Amino acid sequence: MAEARITSYRDGPLLVRGPVRLCDQEGNPIELDRETIALCRCGKSRMRPFCDGTHKVVRFRAPSGAESGRGG
């Protein structure tokens, strides 16, 4: 895979597949041990920025597509 692909899952995480470099806000790299990672969207994961499945427990709701009516 030559580029990363990010898939937004309804009521769930962002799944990132392919080569990416993930950094914190200071620019420090976050170690990745696999080519596919799930990033938390609900904000409740105990492994942020990674998803740990907590979105199911807190009943997080979000569409898989972009929401309309919001400026970009």
Query: What does the pLDDT read at residue 70?
Result: 61
Residue 65 located in a structural domain = no
Among the listed residues 16, 66, 22, 12, the one whose alpha carbon sits nearest the alpha carbon of residue 42: 12
Calculated CA dihedral for residues 56, 58, 42, 70, nearest 10 degrees: 110
Residue 67 located in a structural domain = no
Report the number of distinct structural domains present in the chain: 1
Residue 66 located in a structural domain = no
Residue 71 located in a structural domain = no
Residue 48 located in a structural domain = yes
The pLDDT tens digits along the chain (72 residues) read: 589 999 999 999 999 999 999 999 999 999 999 999 999 999 999 999 999 999 999 999 999 998 887 655
Domain span including residue 34: 1-60
Query: What does the pLDDT read at residue 68?
Result: 81
Residue 69 located in a structural domain = no
